[in-house]
Chain A
Amino acid sequence: MLRVDRASQRFGSRTIFRDVSFEVAKGEVFAILGGSGCGKSTLLSQLIGLRPPTSGEIAVLDQIVTGPNGAAGRRSMQRRIGVMFQSGALFGSMTLLENIALPLEMFTDLPPEGRDAVARVKLGLVGLSHAAGLMPAEISGGMAKRAGIARAMALDPPLLFLDEPSAGLDPVASAELDKLILDLRHDLGTTFVVVTHELASILAIADRCIVLDRNAYPDGGGTIAVGNPRILRDEATHKMVRAFFRREIPVCPGPACPRPE
């Protein structure tokens, strides 16, 4: 579904991360983890085709989306993925129902009553049936997140990218969201790539994860671990990985820490 091969991002002389490589299989829930400023969101923007990597290759849904010939692949890929942005990124001039019906209107032949029915089901899936007629300005941050997921799912894409889905949600709403992700994966075989900080959520839903650290290399950030988050929590020897999963203060943060596992 997704292959990242030695992707790097530099801003001037500053290396945000380099040589990040991983693959995501169909039906997997894959988490991108790391502390603040390690480049998680930058990596996500590379994966969804908003920012080309400084070097490296990214293939999404069997389309290479980087390099000089990546534009066509990027356009094709962007029609077949769903993205939920951190704030929901709902269109402020439309009701929630209209927000979700928009991709259906643009990319399917569904008649208006069909768009309405499908959009209502998507809203129902995220528990927002009662808010169909509300404007984004009239709902809470958590509701906006859930509506953002509903819009990302509008076309039932095989691959969904979620940026901090649980951030700002109460524990119950967060657990419900985790369950929704697992249900969608089970029922539809949807693959998820989730950028998150929420340890409980990672351990509950992620099959595998990549951990980024801004001091992975002496000259910048990169990968410090890839694997099953529960195994990493219990068995990781890298101090920053242990610190992340066990919520410890690292003893030797920075370039002096051990090399990636």
Chain B
Amino acid sequence: MVGQVTAAIRSEERDGIAVLIVSGRLDAQAAGQLWRQAFKTARGAQAIALDLSQLEYCDMSGATLLVGLQAAHGGTLPPTGAAPHVDALLQRARIAAKPPAAPPTTRASSGATGTSPFAGIADTIAYLGEVAVAIATLPARRRMLRLPDLLRYADRAGVRAIPLVLLLGFLMGLILAFQSAVPMRRFGADLYVANLVAISLVRELGPLLSAVILAGRTGSAFAAEIGSMKVNQEIDALATMSLDPVTMLVLPRLIAAMLVMPAMVLALDVAGLLGMATVMKAFGYPLITVAHQVQAAASTGDLLGGLFKGMCFGGAVAVIGCRAGLATGIGPSAVGQAATAAVVGGIVATILLDGLFALLFYRLGL
């Protein structure tokens, strides 16, 4: 910001010493405008003295400049002509500008704990253990699992997600059917698009997509809610009231997510099959034929397997979301970081689990 210069520094030679005569009002603005010129003049001289007799006003920024000029030359010659309040300011600035006696501290990132990555793994294992203990001891502490909380989380995680699930499921079925129908029609196998889409949706895409939606909508919300509670010391308050934060905060969310996920998967499957049926109808196949193909391709076992996978994915997303919230650090960015960690962790865990299920189902011949 350029403003009117309210102070001036000129140099005069007196007895072989460069005397810097400071005049006018030396405030932060003026100090900014004169800073480099003043240091250039001071450094070019053999010895300097400060004449402050024409200085009308000086604030702490101005005092910092004057003290800095003295320091640049060893600070041997005291300023002359300074008004008492300017002298007091210079003295205060000199003391304040002294380097700290304590060893210099290093800059660290917000919320960083400075511990090894293995500590994080150990914490995660400990957390999983706490969740397992909380589940095992729940029958003895049923009062801690509040039904209104459970219903509220189920509503937020599941019921309110249904429109999105239906929309995405319908579009996914539509796109899958359309994209696979074009090449399959070249082989006269376009009828089997119904089989392909049915198996893909019921066995894989239904649970996977539902879990991704849950991670994006609900996992991040769990992390942000619990993270905010941690920042506000609400979790400490729970602990001091002998209320187990895992039982009070994690279990209702975990149970809610596991309960709503099969419903979400089922809704997505149905919407996807409707999307596929729309394409098949456009290709001239009657709906009854499409229904027969779906029935032949996807068994009840496939459907139940998909629903079971969805339930497990829901549990993983909830556990990871809550874990991210409980591990929230300090500072304004910590809650955002927790929400991001919840979404990324939830999606990665879902895909890893899906791979495990593929292996398991193959071995079991399902």
Contact = CB atoms under 8 A, between A and B. Distances in A.
Interface of A: 92-93, 95, 104, 106-111, 113-114, 117-118, 120-125, 129-131, 133-138, 153-156, 183, 186-188
Contact of B31 (A93, A110, A138): A110
13 contacts: A92-B331, A92-B332, A109-B35, A110-B61, A114-B32, A114-B35, A118-B31, A118-B61, A133-B106, A133-B107, A137-B331, A138-B330, A187-B92
Nearest to B333: A92
A134 B100 CA distance: 14
Given A129-B98, A137-B330, A187-B88, A121 B35 contact: no
Top 7 A-B residue pairs of the complex, sorted by shortest distance between their CB atoms = A124-B96, A137-B331, A130-B100, A109-B32, A156-B59, A110-B32, A108-B32
A136 B330 CA distance: 9
A93 B333 contact: yes
A130 B99 CA distance: 8
Contacts of A104: 28, 32, 61
Contacts of A123: 96
Contacts of B2: 109
B29 A187 contact: no
Contact of A117 (B64, B105, B107, B334): B64
Nearest to A115: B32
Interface in B218-256: none
A129 B99 contact: yes
A138 B106 CA distance: 11
Nearest to B334: A137
B36 interface: yes
B25 to A, nearest CB: 11
B152 interface: no
Given A135-B108, A135-B110, A186-B88, A108 B29 contact: yes
Interface of B: 1-2, 27-29, 31-33, 35-36, 59-61, 63-65, 67-68, 85, 88-89, 92-93, 95-102, 104-111, 329-334
A106 B1 CA distance: 7
B213 to A, nearest CB: 31
B105 A133 contact: yes
B35 A130 contact: no
Contacts of B59: 156, 188
A156 B27 contact: yes
B336 to A, nearest CB: 11
B60 A134 contact: no
A239 B321 CA distance: 54
A134 B325 CA distance: 25
A187 B85 contact: yes
A256 B14 CA distance: 75
A124 B331 contact: no
A111 B333 CA distance: 30
Contacts of A137: 110-111, 329-331, 334
A117 B100 contact: no
Given A129-B96, A129-B98, A156 B60 contact: yes
B187 to A, nearest CB: 58
A26 B106 CA distance: 41
Contacts of B108: 135, 138
Contacts of A188: 59-60, 85, 89
Contact of B107 (A113, A114, A122, A135): A135
Contacts of A110: 28, 31-32, 35, 61
A211 B65 CA distance: 41
